[in-house]
Amino acid sequence: MSDTREQILEQIKVQGDLVRQLKATKESKEKLPLAPSSEGRAISTSVGQQLKAQQQQLQEQQQQEQQQQMHKIDEEVSRLLALKAKLGGDAAPANQKFTLKTPKGTRDYAPQQMTLRQDVLDKIVQVFKRHGGEAIDTPVFELKEVLTGKYGEDSKLIYDLKDQGGEILSMRYDLTVPLARYLAMNKISSIKRYHIAKVYRRDNPAMTRGRYREFYQCDFDIAGTYDPMLADAECVKIVAEVLDTLDIGDYVIKLNHRQLLDGMFEACGVPASSFRAICSAVDKLDKSPWADVRKEMVDEKGLDGATADKIGEYVRLSGGAELVEQLLADEKLKAVSNAVKGLEGMQLLLKYCSLFGLEQRVSFDLSLARGLDYYTGVIYEGVLKADPSAPPSPVKEIHNGDQATEQSSTVGSVAGGGRYDNLVGMFDPRGKAVPCVGVSIGVERIFSVLEAKFAASKVKLRTNDVEVYVASAHKGLHEQRLRVLNQLWDAGIKAEHSYKLNPKLLAQLQHCEEHQIPLAIVLGDAELAQGIVKLREVTTRQEANVNLTELPNEIRRRLQK
């Protein structure tokens, strides 16, 4: 303890120093000349220039101070963390008991869940491959600066790694930014790739709705300089194919266009510098009522009420090609070039979607905004419609921030994406852009829906593929079992046995029934003496003698039936 006490004393001294320094900084700031106020307009030019120079000086000084303060805070944080490590140490005291759990917002997948998941992922990959997708993979973490400035307000949800010497790393937040980094780094100007991997967000988990801090994303993206909306429409088609093949209930694919949103904001009188912030407020309309979103726009984002109300008029609109026509005739919108371009794009997209047989599946929806900063064109979101007959979710965990209402059968968005033409250019040293459009399937929510379905149906999924169980009819046959197993494995047959020397026959046959293994071989001295074994069909319990040398062929024959 004495070492630690000294450390605390030292720490107290250091903190005192910091307090003094921060105070000094503040005092020196107060001694600076005042910046020009609105009353000081009618002053002579020279005084004005002087003031301007002083103002600039003040700004520079403030920036410098800010940097110094941040540096001090960094130092202080490392000191405190080091002290904490000293107090607690890294080595756990012997026999220390702690709650056995996975980290907040994460979960294990048991064999039943893995079977379901693998089935879902296989089906999704099939769709991706049907559209010519190639797979890539990237590391689970990136240099922190790769992620910096890509996610707007959501950046606070990024997991950082501890600075253990070396590079500063963060966990990937999605698969889109790593793709853009990959394309720029390898100077790839066109690719159609899919990527299935886990991403990480320090969000408030709502695990009952399939929202986790660690979750799989299944992304399909088309990069390349192409003609308008051809690749975009194919991504919408892919969303529809995925949701159709997974058969998880009725859905709608909402469509919108960032250029139209920007044009609409402009038409309503939102200053250009607020477009992203207002867009991010609109994005909350799927979870919050308009009144709350309006409040955020006015109170937090400084929009005047009348402008917010104009936005409110537009964002409640949704429909099809007829709505595009209507908006192209809208007096306010048709005066704004961005709005017209967005609407024309939407017109073309809706036409292509109709050629893909998706008229009944898509809905042009002006309330769709998508949270991420990097979208530049079409945006879309596949949303499951609430199914009132659906059973309640079987997941019992309820975490902070979950409300009872969140446990309804509405799982909401299960796919989303859009066009992002400038993201790759942010990584290219010469800013060379590679236009991209893509879609991300929200498989965790899909897993949740399917798990609930399976729990309700009481169907037991097989979690292993064993074809034959090798059993002993009596004691002393374990070496014979190993010989037979070896023969089967070498013939490519999936086989297992008890790892006990002398298991009871009943226990062995029960194992087969429990695990839905179709065939069992029963070894006995009498049969083995004649070079034969009993082959038993587990469900019918019918047995037949089979020559040992014929065993693999006979098993294959029976499995094909």
DSSP output for 531-549: TEEEEEETTT--EEEEEGG
Instruction: Find the helix or strand (DSSP H, E) in which 295 lies.
Output: helix 290-295
Q: Smallest gap, in angstroms, from Cβ of residue 529 to a second copy? A: 19
* Residue carrying the six token digits 């709650």: 99
Instruction: Identify the DSSP state of 501.
Output: S
412 contacts 383 by C-beta, under 8 angstroms: yes
Q: Smallest gap, in angstroms, from Cβ of residue 134 to a second copy? A: 4
Q: Smallest gap, in angstroms, from Cβ of residue 425 to a second copy? A: 11
Q: Smallest gap, in angstroms, from Cβ of residue 308 to a second copy? A: 23
Can you list the pairs that 29-36 forms with residues at least 24 positions away whose Cβ atoms lie under 8 Å?
29/61, 29/62, 29/65, 32/57, 32/58, 32/61, 33/58
Helix axes 305-315 and 275-282, enclosed angle (nearest 10): 50
d(CA 159, CA 143): 12
For residues 526, 528, 533 and 534, what is the CA-based torsion angle, rounded to 10 degrees? 20
Q: Smallest gap, in angstroms, from Cβ of residue 27 to a second copy? A: 11
409 contacts 390 by C-beta, under 8 angstroms: yes
Instruction: Choose between 147 and 285: whose C-beta lies nearer to a second copy.
Output: 147
Backbone angles phi, psi at 196, to 5 degrees: -115, 115
Beta bridge partners of 380: 255, 417
d(CA 380, CA 350): 12
Instruction: Choose between 59 and 547: whose C-beta lies nearer to a second copy.
Output: 59
Q: Smallest gap, in angstroms, from Cβ of residue 24 to a second copy? A: 11
Instruction: Choose between 461 and 544: whose C-beta lies nearer to a second copy.
Output: 461
Beta-carbon count within 10 A of 497 CB: 22
Instruction: Choose between 214 and 406: whose C-beta lies nearer to a second copy.
Output: 214
Q: Smallest gap, in angstroms, from Cβ of residue 537 to a second copy? A: 19
CA angle 322, 227, 360 (to 5 degrees): 35
513 contacts 500 by C-beta, under 8 angstroms: no
484 contacts 520 by C-beta, under 8 angstroms: no
* Residue carrying the six token digits 């006015």: 298
3-state secondary structure of 232: helix
* Residue carrying the six token digits 């965790």: 444
d(CA 42, CA 38): 10
Q: Smallest gap, in angstroms, from Cβ of residue 132 to a second copy? A: 4
Q: Choose among 498, 496, 491, 492: nearest CA to 549.
A: 491
461 contacts 116 by C-beta, under 8 angstroms: yes
Q: Smallest gap, in angstroms, from Cβ of residue 285 to a second copy? A: 26
Instruction: Choose between 100 and 459: whose C-beta lies nearer to a second copy.
Output: 100
Q: Smallest gap, in angstroms, from Cβ of residue 82 to a second copy? A: 10
Q: Smallest gap, in angstroms, from Cβ of residue 17 to a second copy? A: 11
Q: Smallest gap, in angstroms, from Cβ of residue 11 to a second copy? A: 7
Q: Choose among 241, 236, 230: nearest CA to 253.
A: 236
437 contacts 221 by C-beta, under 8 angstroms: yes
Q: Smallest gap, in angstroms, from Cβ of residue 484 to a second copy? A: 10
Helix axes 230-246 and 337-355, enclosed angle (nearest 10): 50
Instruction: Choose between 231 and 264: whose C-beta lies nearer to a second copy.
Output: 231
CA distances from 489 to 197, 270, 468, 482, 554 (A): 32, 70, 10, 10, 14
Instruction: Choose between 310 and 494: whose C-beta lies nearer to a second copy.
Output: 494
Q: Please provide the size of the chain in residues.
A: 561
